[in-house]
């Protein structure tokens, strides 16, 4: 597979995973699951595609497309939504919890939180908590 973790073929339609990606996906490991979901995204979203490295010269302008128009960006967005549905992710604020719950990598969980605009609540410094408690006691 020349170092690729997976790829999608369209005629006939099929997803091909490297042995390591397949085994990782079978063991519910984040990277393997992500690779399988990413390739599924290509299969679902793109009727056919030619990898940029094999595309004719006239398609070189494809590299200048905005990210959302990129087939790779689209497949990643599909994988994120497929593995971590936004309506469930919104119950979490910690990337580690998301990674554990959805069996994805911590990096994928962090990106999903960022893309959905969910940020971890800022911890209140102990000095501020002590000051608030002291003020409450004086009342």
- Token reading at 71: 């087939």
* C-alpha to C-alpha distance for 55 and 41, rounded to whole angstroms: 20
* C-alpha to C-alpha distance for 42 and 93, rounded to whole angstroms: 29
DSSP tag of 74:
H
113 or 91, which is more confident: 113
Which region among 30-34, 43-47, 88-92, 124-128 has the lowest average model confidence (pLDDT)?
124-128
What is the domain count for the chain?
Answer: 1
Helix (H) or strand (E) run with residue 91 in it = none
pTM of the shown model: 0.71
Assess if residue 30 is contained within a domain: yes
What digits encode the pLDDT tens for the residues 33-63?
Answer: 999 999 999 999 987 665 545 555 545 555 6
* Beta-strand pair 6-10/13-17: antiparallel
- Tell me the β-bridge partners of 8: 15
Assess if residue 77 is contained within a domain: yes
Assess if residue 61 is contained within a domain: yes
- Cβ-count burial of 112 within 10 angstroms (0-12 exposed, 13-18 middle, 19+ buried)? buried
130 or 86, which is more confident: 86
24 or 131, which is more confident: 24
Assess if residue 70 is contained within a domain: yes
* C-alpha to C-alpha distance for 106 and 31, rounded to whole angstroms: 10
Assess if residue 36 is contained within a domain: yes
Tell me the residue range of the domain where 74 lies.
6-138
Assess if residue 113 is contained within a domain: yes
125 or 57, which is more confident: 125
Q: How far is CA 61 from CA 47, 55, 65, 114, in A?
A: 20, 11, 7, 29
């Amino acid at each position: 597979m020349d170092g690729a973790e997976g790829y999608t073929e369209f005629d006939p339609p099929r997803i091909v995973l490297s042995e390591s990606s397949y085994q990782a996906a079978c063991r519910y490991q984040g990277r393997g699951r992500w690779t399988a979901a990413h390739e599924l995204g290509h299969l679902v979203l793109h009727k056919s595609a030619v990898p940029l490295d094999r595309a004719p010269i006239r398609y070189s302008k494809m590299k200048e497309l905005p990210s959302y128009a990129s087939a790779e960006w689209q497949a990643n967005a599909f994988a994120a939504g497929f593995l971590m549905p936004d309506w469930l992710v919104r119950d979490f604020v910690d990337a580690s919890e998301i990674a554990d719950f959805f069996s994805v990598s911590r990096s994928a969980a962090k990106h999903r939180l960022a893309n959905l605009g969910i940020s971890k609540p800022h911890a209140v410094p102990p000095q501020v908590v002590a000051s608030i408690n002291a003020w409450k006691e004086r009342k």
